[in-house]
Amino acid sequence: MRIVFLGTASSKPTTDRNVSSIALHYRGDIVLFDCGEGTQRQMVRRVKQSRISKICVTHFHGDHYLGIPGLLMTMSLNGRRRPLYIYGPPGTATFLSHLLHSGYMDVGFDVRVEEVYDTMIPCKGYSIRVFPVDHGVPAVGYAFIEDTRRGTFDRKKAHEFGIHGEMFAELEKKGEITVDGTKVTLQDVTGPPKKGKIVTYSGDTRPVSFPPETKGSSVLIHEATFISPEDRDGTYHSTVKEACEAARSMEAPLLVLTHLNSRYEPEQLQRAADEHCDDAVVAYDFLEIEI
């Protein structure tokens, strides 16, 4: 699983940062979380847009979705035919309909829009937990949850059961095999199942409690728009300290801070993170994390 940060600025682009977008690569598939203006330009040479199967929008503030029409146009020009799924909070269908009818846009593939709020989206090999957050407008966060994986295959044990040659393929396919009258199941010859990895993305929010499924996330990507609570000035955003507390509450070993305010230098943010967290990284555009 590889996470590529395509935009890490809050509100507006700067010389070093574009607005919000994160591409999560998983087995040849890409799930894009948010798609601020200029996201497709950020993708060049780093993210194959043809592989994007889903765009998960956290909310409809401009810096999180205005890159969608341009990206869709490019996908269409590149001959995309397979459908694209777009998820977002209540209101998404109306907003996207406006976007897609805002000019002579001719998208040559199906755009399947689904409004989500507090639910689980089952996908192949993983699910996406959608949960409400607190941002003053309909807004959600997302957790990418990999399915539990089969334990490691124990070849020695399999041999002891008398399994050899083509019998492996049969066992793999049917989940069980009979050897000299004895039934051997796949579980008999594999170790304990491995818990899948979890990547949680907060989107824009004031501190909230995250759903239980996010417990034990491998990575929490949390917005940290402010350092001091005074700077927040009534807006629906979080501070570095609050992001650290969220990471602690879900026992995430790694916290990545994003949606960063241009008033702070990265060093300032990192110092604040080091003060409150054991393992926090201040994101920058094109940061890649392999988990």
Q: Where does this chain bind Zn ion (CB under 5 A)?
A: 61, 204
Kindly tell me the burial class for residue 236, based on how many C-beta atoms sit within 10 Å of its own C-beta (0-12, 13-18, 19 or more): middle
Burial class of residue 9 (count of CB atoms within 10 Å of its CB; 0-12, 13-18, 19+): buried
Distance CA 291, CA 1 (A): 5
By C-beta, is 60 or 126 nearer to Zn ion?
A: 60
**Angle formed by the axes of helices 68-77 and 92-100, to 10°?**
50
Contact present, 238 and 221 (Cβ < 8 Å) = no
Choose between 132 and 196: whose C-beta lies nearer to Zn ion.
132
Q: Kindly tell me which of 126 and 131 has the beta carbon lying closer to Zn ion.
A: 131
| Tokens matching residue 201 | 């993305």
Q: Look up 63 and say whether it is catalytic.
A: yes
**Alpha-carbon gap, residue 224 to 257, rounded angstroms:** 6
Tokens of 130: 């959608």
CA gap 73, 121 in Å, rounded? 26
Token digits for 86? 């777009």
Backbone conformation region of residue 259, classed left if phi is above 0, alpha if psi is from -120 to 50, else beta: left
Which is catalytic among the residues 63, 274, 279, 285? Answer: 63
Spatial neighbors of 167 by CB under 8 A, at least 6 apart, are: 177, 179
Write down the least CB distance from residue 59 to Zn ion, Å. Answer: 6
Residue indicated by tokens 């949680």: 200
H helix and E strand count, the chain: 9, 16
Nearest to 235 by CA among 226, 227, 243: 226
Tell me the catalytic residues: 63
